[in-house]
Amino acid sequence: MIEDRTFLSGQVADIVRISGRQVISWTEKGVIEPHKDSTGTGVRREYDYVNLLEFGLCKALFSMGFSFRTLKVMIAKLKGNSTIRSWVEDFQAYYRKFMEDHLKVMNEFLSDLKNDPTTVNKFRDYYDRLLIKRWEPEKSGGLLIYFWGEHETDLEVKIYPREFDYILNINKIKGDIVNFRSSLVIDIGRIKNEIDQKL
């Protein structure tokens, strides 16, 4: 399986389309933590598939002008809650969990609409069709969204395993975007697909 493979610095640079210097710099500055670090002379660093995605994300964030300090916080937050690893290792399970949580929220919403049976039936029909579709997503897509609160340390990150227009039509996510001070949306599914094409 691709998730079990490891890669050397030169391979990472080629796959992610960054320079070897960037691979070394981002590693030595602590932005990326290698799967297996160098322990001395003659022992080379090894990076895993999740590291490739982290480098791809760094490349996107760096091109937006984020500092090393901010990059380190953003990657650490993503790595710390194992979001990216869960999304990569079992996309189907990640997708099912996302849809189940989404449907739970919608059912709570529907229970508040008991006095309007026409609206309830329309919603139930729509979400029943979604429930059927959820088992076979077209590809392992995903939108990565960072949410910032009032303070720089108030940072949340989530990967939503659907396409952009679908995600932004979910009221809860719209609410999150409105309620936080600022947010950043990155098409991590696209980053993953570009990396996969190089492997």
pLDDT tens-digit readout, 43-97: 688 999 999 999 999 999 989 998 888 888 888 888 887 778 888 887 777 777 7
- Domain ranges in the chain are 1-76, 81-189
Query: What distance, in Å, lies between the first and last C-alpha atoms of the chain?
Result: 12
CATH class name, domain 1-76: mainly alpha
30: left (phi over 0), alpha (psi -120 to 50) or beta: left
Flag whether pLDDT at 115 surpasses 50.
yes
Q: Please, what is the angle between helix 49-63 and helix 9-16, to 10°?
A: 50
Number of helices and strands in the chain (H, E): 10, 5
Lowest mean pLDDT of 9-13, 53-57, 157-161, name the range: 157-161
pLDDT per residue as tens digits for the range 12-46: 999 999 999 999 999 999 999 998 887 666 668 89
Secondary structure (DSSP) of 8-63: -HHHHHHHHT--HHHHHHHHHTTSS--SB---STT---BEEHHHHHHHHHHHHHHH
